[in-house]
Structure 1
Amino acid sequence: MKKFVVFGLLASKIVFGTTITVAAAADLRFVLQDLTALYEKQYPQDKLKFIYGASGNFYNQIRAGYPIDVFMSADTHYPELLYKQGLAYKPRPYAIGKLTLFTVEPNINVNNPKLALLKASKIAIANPRVAPYGIAGISTLHCYHIYHAVKNKIVFGENIIQTAQYVASKNADVGLVSYSLLLTPQLKGKGKIYLIPQACYKPIVQGAAVIKSTKNKNAAMRFFNFLYSPQAIAIWKSFGYGIPK
């Protein structure tokens, strides 16, 4: 009888378990590890599956019919476009990202960001065509009035994680990267950082939306709503994100 009960429990989990596929901006890779642990503890019937990359690429893939349940962008632009096109339910901002100048080179003083960028032989920035943090990076160069002086030094990362890796591996002298990545165990304390003043770039308000083609609407909505819970907000803050009002 005990064996039958155990089998029944396992079978029940297989039948009723739901996998939620989430397309997430690359800067979220590490904060989502903590959020996933909390979510799956609260909702053990759900399993989260993440695909990480540049927000613009995900936008194009979703429009092409790629099966995604929830889209977590590094901006609000792409979720809003999908909503206006009838491909997503109403989006909502979940966090505000911060841009940081990052280097592991001992001879570069990030506290003088303009000089640091001018002295660098290579500057890593995420591709602004598909990555909102890349747009913020280019805006920062214009803010310091040095874009034309340094544009030939720029190396573009496919996404913000690759951009940070260019700096950490010394394939670029400095990089303009997400602050949240520099608070992870992999990069925390590994170099020098300087928070770029907010006046230099448009606020990186990051938004999420449930995709209308999802076959797991209830579970997708459950995860979407979880992102705004008090417990989730505490985790967002611990990774350096601001919280939208």
Structure 2
Amino acid sequence: MKRYALLSGLFFFISCIQTAFGQSEESIHIAVASNFTPVMKELAFEFEKSTGIKVKASYGSSGKFVAQIAHGAPFQAFFSADQAKPKALEHQKLALPETRFTYAIGALVLWSTKQTDQDNLIAQLKNESYRNIAFANPKLAPYGAAALDVFRNLKLPTPERYKWLQGENIAQTYQFISTGNADLGFIALSQLKQQVSQPKGVTWEIPKHLYSPIKQDAVLLKRGQTSQATKDFLMFIHSKTSQEIIKSFGYDIP
């Protein structure tokens, strides 16, 4: 982490060289947790604009990406929705040591398009007076695990299986709620921040003490160890420009 912080200034030097001698045609391929989709699209746009290096990003479940990387998927860097999965890749020697860092800290929100009052929304959760509730698979998605923390800390029983609409990832969970298929559900605050207009319904931003911090780590993968462009992109994430973009989508910065 310290090494990346020290080297982050090199990105701007590299950018100047590339601007002076023509833009690079190099590209990189990264795996990104689905909750970070809109942020990464903006970050990739800014990076490509500055360097000419194209960022190809695949979005999905962090848990599934780990399995794909273990089976040889051609990703050069991994932006996870948690810390555990990049650490696991380090232990498997599929990620380079001393390159892992926390790039964002997520926030959890309870959302319903069928309620118009926050007090009613909270009461509906606590009284289990809902037909069904959506949250991501806690075995694969950190935001799903955080939702289970909320149930435990509020001393509420985990929803019965017939009431639980389980999303494969946080993006699918959002769809369950936005279409009205779920009465309410847990999503990332960032998913609401990306909306141009005020989201329909009502939200409750879950107090931070009700769930473990959702620290999201990135790491350079073994396939990216010879790619200077990938290393430059990871250094770019430390820049002030990147951090302002990340915060604008409702994330905290470590």
**TM category, shorter:** 0.7 to 0.9
Tell me, yes or no, if structure 1 residue 85 matches structure 2 residue 99: no
Superposed counterparts of 1:111-150, under 5 Å: 111=119, 114-117=122-125, 118-148=128-158, 150=160
Indicate if the aligned counterparts of 2:76 and 2:220 stay in contact, CA closer than 8 A: yes
The amino acid across from 2:101 in the alignment is R
Q: Could you list the per-position Cα deviations for residues 37-92 of structure 1 after superposition, in whole angstroms to 9, with x for gaps in the alignment?
A: 21111111x10111111101101111111110110000011111111221112311
1:104 counterpart residue number: 113
Picking from 76, 84, 87, the partner of 2:83 is 76
**Contact 1:18–1:216, Cα closer than 8 Å, also in 2:** no
Following the alignment from structure 1 to structure 2, what is the Cα–Cα distance between the partners of residues 92 and 53? 20
1:171 aligns with 2:178: no
Following superposition, the deviation at residue 230 of structure 1 comes to: 0.5
Within the candidate set 221, 226, 242, 1:232 is matched to 242
Q: Report 1:25-36 matches (<5 A).
A: 25-36=33-44
Which 4+ runs in 1 deviate beyond 3 A?
109-114, 148-152
Asked whether the 8 Å contact 1:227–1:233 carries over to 2, the reply is: yes
Indicate the larger mover: 207-216 or 65-74. 207-216
Q: More displaced, 85-94 or 109-118?
A: 109-118
Give, in angstroms, the shift of residue 216 of structure 1.
5.4
Structure 2 unaligned blocks of 5 or more: 1-21
Superposed displacement of residue 215, structure 1: 6.9
Q: Deviations over 1:188-230 (max 9, x none)?
A: 4223111111111110000001111237521111111111110
* Pairing 1:182–2:192 present: yes
Deviation at 1:152, TM superposition (A): 4.1
Rounded Cα–Cα distance in structure 2 between residues aligned with 1:64 and 1:178 = 29
CA contact (8 A) 2:34 2:171 kept: yes
Select 1:63's aligned residue among 33, 47, 70: 70
1:161 aligns with 2:171: yes
Q: Distance in 2 between matches of 1:212 and 1:50?
A: 17
SS of equivalent to 2:224:
coil
Give the Cα–Cα distance (whole angstroms) in 1 for the partners of residues 197 and 86 of structure 2.
29
Q: Distance in 1 between matches of 2:141 and 2:206?
A: 17
Task: Say which SS state the counterpart of residue 87 (structure 1) adopts.
Answer: coil
> Does 2:253 align with 1:243?
yes
Q: Structure 2 counterpart of 1:100, which letter? A: V
Letter in 1 for 2:100: P
User: Aligned residue pairs: how many?
Assistant: 229
User: Residues 210 and 145 from structure 1, CA distance in 2 versus in 1: closer, same or farther, beyond 3 angstroms?
Assistant: same
Partner Cα separation in structure 1 for residue 158 and residue 195 of structure 2: 35
The question of whether the paired residues in 2 share the 8 Å contact of 1:141 and 1:147 is answered with yes
- Is contact 2:95–2:221 with CA below 8 Å preserved after alignment? yes
Would the alpha carbon gap of residues 74 and 148 (structure 1) be closer, same or farther in structure 2, given more than 3 Å must change? closer
C-alpha separation in 2, matches of 1:149 and 1:71: 32
**Equivalents in 2 of 1:33, 1:61: separation in Å?**
22
Amino acid at match of 2:154: Y
Q: Where does residue 6 of structure 1 map in the other structure?
A: none
Consecutive unaligned residues in structure 1, runs of 5 or more: 1-11
TM-score, L = length of structure 1: 0.87
